[in-house]
């Protein structure tokens, strides 16, 4: 069955980016000229996914407003003959079906995904954490769907991380069955360096079979007192194979101030309109 739906969990509190996240959802922070979440939505369009389910929470209404039509802007831009801007305001909303559901309490990523069960139904689906910004020639979800077509079971995006970062991630133990593709044997959420089975960390892109919901319902709060998606996937392993893809691309953690800045510079330098001015600015910074 084709992967038609993507879940965007966006109900987290964004504590690492306080104080801005008191008023502005992390997903709405700007990366060069668009909010972070739009990069994830564009990744879906390029991966032939038409239905997006956004898990929101308190203080996240800006996300719904952003993907809705804005009649006032449309009228104004039409009157002024600004057709390019009009297109940028309307394009996304017309290409994707958006649904929203609320996670009433931030009980963890696993719990957020469980909130989408009724909207997913009985089909494989993808998950995109839009604060994991990935600069890739081929969108990561598209790379994963290609692998899914071959293996027909859950696929996790993984990346090698430095020893000192291992304790921040879900880490896989797996056997490499093809270049960059692992059959997973075990998963550990945020292990210490000594207990870590590898340095392959799970990054915010997943394709999961609907059987995950059976396990999410049973998953008890784990590390950090949160219902962890990694724990449910570990249980899924008892009945189905799960694979990992070491994707091609560079990833920036948008919830981390330094990496968000690095992404701004990289994406800014890749933008034809801004490249020259930005480079000139960087070369002449007077500290
Ligand atoms: P993060 O841990 O990166 O996001 O969760 P956070 O909790 O917003 O940020 P910090 O750590 O406090 O700074 C990964 C993803 O899971 C979502 C977040 O919105 C983010 O996209 N999430 C997390 C939920 O939707 N609900 C939760 O209860 C927890």
Q: What is the pLDDT along the chain (287 residues), one digit of tens a residue?
A: 899 999 999 999 999 999 999 999 999 999 999 999 999 999 999 999 999 999 999 889 999 999 888 888 888 888 888 888 777 777 777 789 999 999 999 999 999 999 999 999 999 999 999 999 999 999 999 999 999 999 999 999 999 999 999 999 999 999 999 999 999 999 999 999 999 999 999 999 999 999 999 999 999 988 888 999 999 999 999 999 999 999 999 999 999 999 999 999 999 999 999 999 999 999 999 88
**Residue 161 in contact with residue 145, Cβ under 8 Å?**
no
**Residue 208 in contact with residue 125, Cβ under 8 Å?**
yes
Q: What is the enclosing helix (H) or strand (E) of 259?
A: helix 257-269
**Residue 16 in contact with residue 51, Cβ under 8 Å?**
no
Closest ligand 1 atom to the C-alpha of 10?
A: 19
CA 3 – ligand 1 centroid, Å:
24
Q: Is 10 in the pocket of ligand 1 (CB under 6 A)?
A: yes
**Most informative mutation of 7, 8, 12 for ligand 1 (most atoms within 8 A of CB):** 12
CA 272 – ligand 1 centroid, Å:
32
**Residue 143 in contact with residue 126, Cβ under 8 Å?**
no
Cβ neighbours for 63, distance < 8 A, ≥ 6 positions apart: 10, 25, 27, 28, 37, 54, 56, 100
Closest-CA residue to 175 (of 148, 147, 142, 197) = 197
Closest-CA residue to 12 (of 62, 68, 59) = 59
Architecture of domain 5-284: Alpha-Beta Complex (3.90)
Beta bridge partners of 158: 202, 246
């Amino acid at each position: 069955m084709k992967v038609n739906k993507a879940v965007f969990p966006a109900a987290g509190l964004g504590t690492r980016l306080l104080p801005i996240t008191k008023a502005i959802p992390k997903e709405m922070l700007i990366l060069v000229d668009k909010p972070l979440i739009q990069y994830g939505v564009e990744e879906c369009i390029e991966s032939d996914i038409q239905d997006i389910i956004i898990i929101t929470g308190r203080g996240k209404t800006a996300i719904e407003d952003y993907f809705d039509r804005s009649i006032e802007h449309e009228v104004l831009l039409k009157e002024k003959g600004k057709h390019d801007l009009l297109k940028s305001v309307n394009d996304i909303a017309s290409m994707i079906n958006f649904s929203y559901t609320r996670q009433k309490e931030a009980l963890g990523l696993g719990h957020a995904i469980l909130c989408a069960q009724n909207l997913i139904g009985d089909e494989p689906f993808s998950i995109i954490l839009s604060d994991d910004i990935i600069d890739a020639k081929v969108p990561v979800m598209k790379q994963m769907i290609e692998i899914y077509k071959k293996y027909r079971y859950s696929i996790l995006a993984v990346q090698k991380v430095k020893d000192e970062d291992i304790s921040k991630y879900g880490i896989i133990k797996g056997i490499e069955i093809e270049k960059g593709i692992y059959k997973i044997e075990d998963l550990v959420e945020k292990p210490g360096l000594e207990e870590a089975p590898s340095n392959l960390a799970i990054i915010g892109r997943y394709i999961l079979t609907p059987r995950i919901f059976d396990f999410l319902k049973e998953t008890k709060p784990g590390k950090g007192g949160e219902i962890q998606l990694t724990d449910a996937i570990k249980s899924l392993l008892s009945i189905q194979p799960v694979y990992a893809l070491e994707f091609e691309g560079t990833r920036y953690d948008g919830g981390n101030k330094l990496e968000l800045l690095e992404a701004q510079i990289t994406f800014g330098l890749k933008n034809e309109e801004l490249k020259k001015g930005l480079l000139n600015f960087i070369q002449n910074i007077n500290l």
